[in-house]
C-alpha cells in the first residue's frame, strides 16, 4: 500500500488491484476512489462504475465522467509505474475486430462499416469479448445479411454467458429465424438471462458465402430505449 505512507494527506485515498493474468483479453488493473471504481483493461476501453449506486457494475460511466476517469486512470498509471507492475504483453496474433473474434470455421474482418464473416467450414462461430455485465433479461438486436436460399442455414443461434455461468451452453441460447433473400434484415432475440449477460456468442448459420453484420445492440429490459451495449463496426481500425 504505497499510498498510505505518502505525505500527500489531501489526496483522496485510493485502492489498487492489478490482474495481469487471464490473457490479454481479461487482464486489468483497478483503482477505487470512494464509491468510484475504474477498471483499466489492456485490450479494450476502460470502465467506470459508481459502486454506491451500482454494485452490479451495470452502468459504465466512462463517457459521463471523462475528466474524473482520466484523473483516476493517470493515478493508476502512476501507481503501476511506482510499484513496477508487470504489464501484460500484447499477443501479436490476436487481432480484435470490433470486440468480436472468430471462434471456429470462419474469418472475420471489418469492411465498409460491417463485420464480414467469411466461412471456412460448416459451422461458423463468433464470440464477443467479455463486457461489463448487463442485467437480464435482455433483447439483442442485430442487422445481418446472409445469402439466398439453399446456400445457408435458415437460423442463427445467439448464446449468452455471464460470470456465474461462463460457458456457452444449450440452456442459454435463443434461436433467430433468418430471411434468406441476400438483403439486410433486422433481427431480434429475447434472452431470458437470469444472471445477466457479459458475453455473447453468435452462430450465424451455415453458409458458403460471406455473411455481413451491420451492427449488434443489446437492450436491457430494465432500461429500454437505448442500447446498453452496441457494436456498430463503424471504424476500419482495430480497437
Question: Quick one: which H or E segment has residue 77?
Answer: helix 66-82
The set of cell numbers assigned to 195 is 444472471
Distance (Å) of CA 222 to CA 34, 130, 132, 217 = 27, 21, 16, 15
Residues 112-141 that bind Ca ion (CB under 5 A): 113
Closest-by-Cβ residue to Ca ion is: 113
* Region near Ca ion per CB under 5 A, out of 36-44, 84-92, 121-129, 209-217: 209-217
Whichever of 69 and 218 has its CB closer to Ca ion, that residue is: 218
Q: Is the peptide bond before 137 cis (omega within 30 degrees of 0)?
A: yes
Contact 126, 201 (CB under 8 A): yes
Whichever of 105 and 232 has its CB closer to Ca ion, that residue is: 232
Whichever of 22 and 113 has its CB closer to Ca ion, that residue is: 113
Length of the chain, in residues: 239
Q: How far is the CB of 110 from Ca ion (least distance, A)?
A: 9
Question: Quick one: which H or E segment has residue 30?
Answer: strand 28-33
Residue closest to 179 by CA, chosen among 170, 188, 171: 188
Contact 199, 103 (CB under 8 A): no
231 near Ca ion, rule: CB under 5 A = no
227-34-27 Cα angle (round to 5): 60
Kindly tell me which residue out of 79, 160, 219, 233 binds Ca ion, with binding defined by CB under 5 A. Answer: 233
Q: How far is the CB of 116 from Ca ion (least distance, A)?
A: 11
Whichever of 43 and 214 has its CB closer to Ca ion, that residue is: 214
Kindly tell me which residue out of 214, 216, 217, 218 binds Ca ion, with binding defined by CB under 5 A. Answer: 214
Residues 74-113 that bind Ca ion (CB under 5 A): 113
Residue closest to 140 by CA, chosen among 201, 96, 99, 62: 201
* Region near Ca ion per CB under 5 A, out of 20-28, 84-92, 126-134, 212-220: 212-220
Contact 25, 129 (CB under 8 A): yes
Whichever of 168 and 215 has its CB closer to Ca ion, that residue is: 215
Whichever of 72 and 213 has its CB closer to Ca ion, that residue is: 213
Q: How far is the CB of 1 from Ca ion (least distance, A)?
A: 46
Q: How far is the CB of 237 from Ca ion (least distance, A)?
A: 14
Q: Which residues bind Ca ion (CB under 5 A)?
A: 113, 214-215, 232-233
Amino acid at each position: 500500500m504505497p499510498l498510505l505512507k505518502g505525505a500527500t494527506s489531501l489526496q483522496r485515498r485510493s485502492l489498487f488491484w492489478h490482474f495481469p493474468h487471464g490473457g490479454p483479453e481479461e487482464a486489468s488493473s483497478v483503482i477505487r476512489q470512494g464509491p468510484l471504481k475504474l477498471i483499466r483493461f489492456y485490450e479494450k476501453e476502460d470502465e467506470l462504475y459508481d459502486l454506491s449506486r451500482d454494485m452490479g457494475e451495470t452502468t459504465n460511466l466512462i463517457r459521463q465522467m471523462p475528466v474524473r476517469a482520466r484523473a483516476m486512470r493517470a493515478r493508476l498509471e502512476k501507481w503501476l509505474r511506482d510499484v513496477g507492475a508487470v504489464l501484460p504483453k500484447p499477443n501479436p496474433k490476436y487481432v480484435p475486430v470490433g470486440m468480436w473474434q472468430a471462434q471456429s470455421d470462419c474469418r472475420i474482418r471489418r469492411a465498409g462499416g460491417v463485420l464480414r464473416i467469411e466461412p471456412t467450414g460448416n459451422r461458423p462461430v463468433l464470440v464477443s469479448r467479455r463486457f461489463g455485465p448487463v442485467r437480464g433479461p435482455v433483447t439483442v438486436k442485430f442487422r445481418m445479411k446472409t445469402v439466398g436460399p439453399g446456400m445457408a442455414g435458415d437460423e442463427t443461434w445467439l448464446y449468452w454467458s455471464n460470470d456465474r455461468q461462463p460457458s456457452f451452453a444449450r440452456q442459454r441460447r435463443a434461436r433467430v429465424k433468418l430471411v434468406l433473400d441476400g438483403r439486410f434484415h433486422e433481427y431480434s432475440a429475447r434472452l431470458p438471462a437470469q444472471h445477466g449477460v457479459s458475453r455473447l456468442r453468435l452462430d450465424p448459420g451455415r453458409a458458403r458465402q460471406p455473411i455481413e453484420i451491420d451492427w449488434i445492440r443489446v437492450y436491457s429490459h430494465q432500461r429500454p430505449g437505448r442500447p446498453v451495449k452496441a457494436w456498430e463496426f463503424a471504424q476500419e481500425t482495430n480497437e
